[in-house]
Structure formats: structure tokens, C-alpha cells
Amino acid sequence: MSSIDEVIIERRGSAGLIRLNRPQALNSLTLPMIRAIVSALDGFAVDPSIASVIVKGEGERGFCAGGDIRLLHQSGQEKSDGAEIFWREEFRLNHAIAHYPKPYVALMDGITMGGGVGLSAHGSHRVVTERTRLAMPETGIGYFPDVGATWLLPRAPGEAGTWMGLTGLIINAADAIHAGLADHAVASSDLPVLIEAISALPAVASPADVHSTILGLALDTGTSRLATSRDTIDRAFAHEAVEDILRALAQESDDFAAEAAQVIATRSPTSLKLTLRLLRAGRASASLAECLNRELGACLGILYNPDFYEGVRAAVIDKDRNPKWSPASLAEVDAASIDRFFVPAQPPLFA
């Protein structure tokens, strides 16, 4: 076994095990963690004794709550290159996970948000539990769903991904499976059993063998709220402007629509418009790499957006949960102010 403070890497039978070990911060990703994960994945990929990789979070509360938002906030204020370096390396990791040559098993137990979704939902075998609380809550901090979410969310059934991206609301295991962000649910108490079963597979085990092993412990998640509310979601969130989405929600009579409208009204107007445009661009994109390139350009634009600093202040630093957005209304956010987020990053992540 080898480890650094924030990530523990080990070989267990035929499995390479990556354990995020920052439980006091809900395993939020730092740059050293990203680099440790990349190094481990590179090593496991060429090791003939390793059939699969398992990624899990330490502690009782979550898999991974996202990226180190304080670091990004500080880097932007200082005008250093720390934020850009973080995003470039994180997004390359997301792409590598999506194209990993061996089964990549993500155990999304507990809180799985932002960068945690990027670390899991691009994998080949995504496992949720009854404790999974998954979200892309970035519009609430003056940011937008990144880590390839603009590729993933548009490919959810109907407009479920648009609902997720704009509201940032938490979904459970059944919803995550419905949205295409997870494959199977396993009881949290059975995860040690699952790890041992995957580790006991032969070194020549196939992805189908890993799938069958997970299926042997899979449980019924019940009905997805997103599936039940699909008609409402599809009617309201199919529009091309956030204002039109809100008007459509006002025409719906159920509590689901009322909750969505109420939450959207608290989000950064700039982030809402940026997110919707990115999701629509992602729907028309040909690859994850194309979306990640576009997201990186938007990330660099975010560093000049006052809502990002105000959102992080209100949510993470002062924790007063009372951000003052600028502009304060959707009507004040014009198309030109969103265009600036679509300046391509140079050099691009992927040619």
C-alpha cells in the first residue's frame, strides 16, 4: 500500500483501489488529489495483474462534494494561474475516466456533487446507494455545471438534465439512475462485500464480469421523482430562455414545478443564462472533449464574473446564504454578457 495524506492507493486482489481521504472536507478535490488519482490510474492501466479500478470516498458522509472552491476563489482574487491549472488537470482526468481501458467502478455513497460527479459519472460502472445525494449546484454560487456535465446532462431523458443544471437540487439514487448518471444501486452496508467480490475476480476479468458482480448485490431503488415528474419537466424546461422556463413553470399546477421556480429565483441570473446556453451547446456537441474545451473557456470567464466571488462568499466563506447577484435580474443579463464566456481557452485541452 502507498498513500499520500489526501488519497490512499492500494492493490486489493485484482482491483486497484483509490480512496479519497479528505473526509473532513467531504473529500473535496485538491490539485494534489487529482494528480495522485491520475498517477494511480496510469499505473493500474498498464498493470496486467489489475482487472478493474474502484474509487470510493472515506468517511461516513460522502463520496466527493466537488472541487476545492476556496482555492479557485483565492486564485481568481489573486489573479494567479492556480485556478486554470486546477481546471485543466481536473478536466483531463474527467476525459481519461470516460475513456479508461479497464472497468472503472465509482461508489457514489453519500454526497456526490460537482467534481464528485465528474469523478464518477464518466466511469463505466457507477454505483449509488440509499445514502446518495447527488447534485450539480453551481448556479447557486455564481458558477455553472462543469467537469463534463454539459455533455452528461443534455443526454439525460427529456429535460431532466436541464432541470438539474438550472435548479442545482439534490437527487437520490433512483433519480441518478433515471438521469443516466448511475447504473445500479447497492446498499451502503454491502459496499465492503462488493469491493471484496470485485477484488476476487481474476486478473483477466471482463467488464461483463464486473457488471455481473455488481448486479448480484443490486437493490430496487423505487420510483424516481424525476421520472414521475417527467411530463412537467419536459414541458417547462424545453424552452431556450430561462425567462420562458419560469413562465412555463408558473403555468404548471404541481408542487414540483413550484419548487423548481422558487429555487431558480434564488440562483445567479448570469449563471442561469450561461448554464442553459452551455447545456444546449452540449446537446449539439459531438464529444465530451468538445464540451470540456468549451467549459474551460467558460471557467476562465468566470474568474472575471463578480457573481462567482459573491456566491462563494455567501456559501462557503461567510456562510450567510444571502448572495447579492450582479446583475440582480434575468432581464439585466444580455446576450453579449454571456458571449464573453464562450471565448475558447488557449491552448485548448483537446485539439
Active site residues: 67, 115, 138, 146
Residue 181's closest CA among 132, 220, 251?
132
Ramachandran angles phi, psi of 107, nearest 5°:
-100, 95
In a 3-state reduction of DSSP, which class is residue 278? Answer: helix
For 347, which DSSP code?
S
Could you tell me the strand order of the sheet in which 15-20 lies? Answer: 2-3, 7-12, 15-20, 52-57, 104-108, 125-128, 184-185
* Greatest pairwise CA separation for the chain in angstroms: 60
Residue 258's closest CA among 227, 228, 229?
229
Is residue 269 exposed (0-12), middle (13-18) or buried (19+ Cβ within 10 Å)?
buried
